[in-house]
Amino acid sequence: MADYRDVFRMKWLAGLSALSDQPRAALREWINNGTYAVSSSTRPNQIILENISSREVIECFGSDINRFSVAAHESLCNVRQYQDLPKSTAWPLVMLYYSTLFYSHALLRVLGVSPSFFETSELLKLRNTANVYGVAEASKFKSGLYTLEADVSNNAIIMTYENNSGGSHEHMWKRLGVVLSESKLIISNSLLETKIQKALENEINTIIAAVSGAGANAHQLSAMRNSIQYRQKYGVWFPYKSALTVQTIADRIKIASGLEVKVDSFNCNSKDEIVSFYESCCLLIAVCRGTLADLNERSDKSFIRFGLPRIEKTLQIG
């Protein structure tokens, strides 16, 4: 039966599945050291990097995918250090959130989208190159949030300065919501049977709801993490009024980390905000891991093997 992986597969960054070597250079390094021309866009705060080396850019996206997925796994494994303190759930919840954040960053890069923060110093080469090509828009580019969308079929990257996107977490969640919504267009434009289209749309809608709290907030998970970490809400700090235990979180993480996990395995619509929070995180972790596994399995020697599968052999979720 078709599922979300079939939809995402049609949005994979072109050429990524053929990448077999260990990618090393990050995209931010390529911006500062790579070769490209710069042209104007019809949209404000946006430029186009042209005549890029598609191979170099694909490797950069691959490097970032491995970096984020390994960071996500490390964050999950850190939850177990609290298992001797069964009611001390605040930091496990925060680490679960960060794992979800990192996995979601990896997923977006699989789909050719990189929400990134750049310092002004990292943009000097780009701004100088834009000046040579007479693209004045890039002179506005300074420290802040950007979205880079790879279009390797046209040897280009679309780069947008997101100066009104809030913080880096909010920016990433907003971009993920947009990309997931765009995925539904792939379904509606496909030649699949109506029944299958409906099932796939329901899956994508379930994932979107996990990101946004059923539409309540485009960055609902970030808002919940802030409330837990900084406002010490929901009774997960001493004196531990919440009934939640570290073991419950660990058990849900194990389910999310398994193979062939279904999106309907998680109670994201619970009226208990904490339950909805950790269930939504676990759903997104399962989806991101499922996508990475799908990418890894599509090649005999995928670049993915240098990242998540390697660390999983030595650092297991327990």
Peptide bond into 239 cis (omega under 30): yes
- Distance, in Å, from the CA atom of 65 to the CA atom of 20, rounded to the nearest integer, reads 13
Express each pLDDT in 107-157 by its tens digit.
Answer: 999 999 999 999 999 999 999 999 999 999 999 999 999 999 999 999 999
pLDDT recorded at residue 80? 80
Average pLDDT, the chain: 94
Q: Is the pLDDT of residue 215 over 80?
A: no
pLDDT recorded at residue 226? 96
pLDDT recorded at residue 192? 87
Q: Name beta bridge partners: 37.
A: 50
Q: Is the pLDDT of residue 282 over 70?
A: yes
> Are 139 and 40 a contacting pair, CB within 8 Å?
no
Q: Is the pLDDT of residue 182 over 80?
A: yes
- Distance, in Å, from the CA atom of 268 to the CA atom of 277, rounded to the nearest integer, reads 7
Express each pLDDT in 219-262 by its tens digit.
Answer: 899 999 999 999 999 999 999 999 999 999 999 999 999 988 99
pLDDT confidence bin for 213, thresholds 50/70/90? confident
Task: Quote the domain boundaries for residue 111.
Answer: 4-314
With a CB cutoff of 8 Å and minimum separation 6, the contacts of 238 are 88
pLDDT recorded at residue 299? 87
As given in the structure block, the two tokens for residue 95 are 């680490």
Express each pLDDT in 60-109 by its tens digit.
Answer: 999 999 999 999 999 999 888 888 889 999 999 999 999 999 999 999 99
- Distance, in Å, from the CA atom of 81 to the CA atom of 209, rounded to the nearest integer, reads 30
Helix, strand, coil percentages, rounded to 5, for the chain: 60, 10, 30
**Helix/strand/coil for 48:** strand
Side-chain half-sphere exposure of 43, counting CA atoms within 13 A: 9
Phi, psi dihedrals of residue 43, rounded to the nearest 5°:
-95, 145
pLDDT recorded at residue 199? 95
3-state secondary structure 116-166: EEECHHHHHHHHHHHHHCCCHHHHHCCCEEEEEEEEHHHCEEEEEECCCCC
Q: How many domains does the chain have?
A: 1
| Strand ranges across the sheet with 37-40 | 37-40, 46-50, 156-161, 144-151, 113-118
> Are 88 and 269 a contacting pair, CB within 8 Å?
no
Q: Is the pLDDT of residue 165 over 70?
A: no
pLDDT recorded at residue 318? 59
pLDDT confidence bin for 214, thresholds 50/70/90? low
Burial of 22 (0-12, 13-18, 19+ CB in 10 A): middle
- Distance, in Å, from the CA atom of 237 to the CA atom of 256, rounded to the nearest integer, reads 25
Helix axis angle, 273-297 to 194-212, nearest 10°: 130
Q: Is the pLDDT of residue 55 over 80?
A: yes
- Distance, in Å, from the CA atom of 132 to the CA atom of 271, rounded to the nearest integer, reads 56
Residue type, 174: K
Q: Is the pLDDT of residue 189 over 80?
A: yes
